[in-house]
Structure formats: C-alpha cells, structure tokens
Amino acid sequence: MTKRLFLKTLLFAIISTSVLSKGMKKMYLKNAKLKTIKKDFKGNEFQNGVFKNLYGQSGKTTILDILKWKLSPNPQKEIKKHEKYALQVIKNEKALNTTEDFIYWLGHASFIIQLDGKRIVTDPCLSAPPFIKRLTELPIDIEKIKPDYLLISHAHYDHLDLETIEKFDQCVALVPLKMGQMIEDTNKKIRTQEAGWYQQYDIDETFNITFLPAHHWHKRGINDYNEILWGSFMIQTQNKTIYFAGDTGYSDHFKEIQKIFKKVDIAIMPIGAYSPRWFMKSSHINPQEALLASKELHADTMIPMHYGTFDLSDEPLGEPERLLREAGDDRVHFLAIGEKLVM
C-alpha cells in the first residue's frame, strides 16, 4: 500500500464523534473556596465544556498532523538506533529513611519532595503509559513511598498513571479543575482538592502550594480535549520556593509567574520529548527553552526531568542531557534516578 493510499484509508476509517455544542455562554472557573493570588485573574476560561489555553492553541492536532509525524522519516533514526544511552539508577531501599528535606527523582516527571516530614509526589507515573516501554527501573519499592500529597499537573498518561494512584492510599491529591472525580473513582481512599490557575490550595502545613499556568492541553480519551485543566505548581516553605513545571511549551507564563514570586530557589523543568519541533513546540520545551524559562523565573537551581525514562518523540534519548551539559550553565543540577538533593 502506498503512503498516500494509507493516509486516505485511515482518514476515512477514523471519524471523530466529538461535536461541541454552539452558543453556550463563556464562563470563568475557579474553586470558590480557595484563595486566588493574582487579583485580576477571573478564573480559567471555559466554554462548551472546554478549557481555553491562554497562550495559544496547543495539542489540537488533527489526524493528518499525527499521520504526517508518524509517516515522515526521522532524520535522527540511525542515531537513535545505535545509541547506548541509559540513565543511572541508584537503588537504595533506605534512601527515604530520613527527616531531612530533600528532592528525590523517581524517573520522568515523578519526584518525591519531602518538606518538614511531609512527603509530596509529583505527577505519579511509576509504571508506563499504554504501549510505551519504561526504560528505567524504579529506585525503590513503591510501597515504601507513602505520600502525604500528590501534585498532578495534568492527565496525560505519562504524568498520571491510574495503576500508581491505586497504590497510594490515605493521601491528598492536589489537582487541576475537573480532575477530582477521575482520581476518586480510581481510589476512594484519596481525597482531592481542585484548583484553577493562581489558586492556593487549602492545606494545614508549614508550606504553601499554588497551582499555576502552563502552555499545554488535556486529552486522555477520544472526545475529551481540554475538558480537564492543566498547569504547574509552586511550593513555598519559610525559606525556599520550588517550582514544578509539569509539561509545557514555552510562553509568557514564566515571566508572569516571576512577577508574582520574584525568584525561585529550585525549578524542576522538562527537557525532553521536543522533536520534531513543528509538532512538539507548542507542547514541550527543549533544553535551550528550559534554560531560558528558568532564567526568566530567576531560578538559582534547575533540575532537569522528562527525559530518558520513556521514548516519546524523535530525538535520541541522550540528546536532551547532552545539549544541556554543552550549554555549560552551572545552575543546572542533574539527578540520577534514586538520587537525593538535600535542601
């Protein structure tokens, strides 16, 4: 079958049943029970059951876009085929037996952040998304993690794994608007709290956690485009600010966040899954953009993530780390999987 005939066959075979109703009133959603830290922010724009991306269209790809990507030759195919890159994994079952504050990488976008004895897990995906192989082992038995809080930036499969959620009982999931029901349906022992952008979660702790913008999108099923919000997080202790970017393309939201928080001590930034740029640019920053964004946040330290655990795009697995090291920015602090940064 020729490539042209293959495209036509798929286009006729795949019929979208997603039809947005017309004429519904535009709304601005937020959690009325939470504090909004940006005074002029009315809430997240929501119309026809869909959240709007304030920073431009992202993720609204057509079948043709996906087919163009999958059927186009990858100029780095041979490099990927022959590379022998692998992230280091440090296995130590006693690594969490400490009262110190630390950041500990579990792989991809999953970290344990321990603050004042409370354990936070970001974007819990400790198995693998459907049809994608996990390339790194977990550094520790999942049963030993025992989080107090989950921070879930968005619902893409590589950031929210329901099998992982099933293993985390008696914790609180801090999530975007419209995500709570999915989490509670998966594990009824998890309590959820939803927030819109620039809203501070109501937690009785020595630290604050605020949900913030990202240039991204939602899609988990066939007909659910942007029905659940997405974003990033800022964690503030008495003497530290930790920014977790989730997934994001580059946009003005980094500068807007800096205007509110002034500086960031540690920015955890994605650096992988960026190629081909015509397809990935609006969804994922590359290493150079991650550096720029961390500078715009006035971050003292940048911890790279979102590379090496899953093969999600066209660039070689080792390229994000190599490009970032070649940039020679001494603010960058690489972690091995299973390595702690003590704060």
- Mean pLDDT value of segment 188-192: 98
Ranking 10-24, 123-137, 169-183, 247-261 by mean pLDDT, the lowest is 10-24
**Number of domains forming the structure of the chain:** 1
Alpha-carbon gap, residue 309 to 137, rounded angstroms = 9
Lookup: tokens for 205? 């702790």
Q: In which domain, by residue range, is 308 found?
A: 30-65+88-342
User: At 325, is the pLDDT very low, low, confident or very high (cuts 50, 70, 90)?
Assistant: very high
Confidence of residue 15 (pLDDT cuts 50, 70, 90): very low
Beta pairing, strands 199-200 & 208-212: antiparallel
- On whether the CB atoms of residues 284 and 278 are closer than 8 A, the answer is no
Residues 233, 257: contact at Cβ < 8 Å?
A: no
Residue 222 near residue 216 (C-beta atoms within 8 A)? no
pLDDT band of residue 3 (cuts 50, 70, 90) is very low
- Residue 230 CA to residue 245 CA, distance in Å, equals 11
At residue 102, does pLDDT exceed 80? yes
Report residue 266: phi and psi, to 5°. Answer: -135, 125
Please report whether residue 16 resides in a domain.
Answer: no
HEC string of 266-287 equals EEEEECCCCCCHHHHCCCCCCH
In a domain, residue 59? The reply is yes
List phi, psi (to 5°) of 200: -100, 125
In-domain check, residue 20:
no
Q: Among residues of the chain, what percentage have pLDDT more than 70?
A: 92
**Is position 164 within any domain?**
yes
CATH of residue 323's domain is 3.60.15.10
Q: Containing H/E element for 208?
A: strand 208-212
What is the average per-residue pLDDT within 118-123? Answer: 98
What's the predicted TM-score (pTM) here?
Answer: 0.92
Q: How far apart, in whole angstroms, are the C-alpha atoms of residue 247 and residue 269? A: 8
pLDDT of the residue at 23: 54
- Residue 145 falls inside a structural domain: yes
Confirm whether 311 is domain-assigned. yes
In a domain, 10, yes or no: no
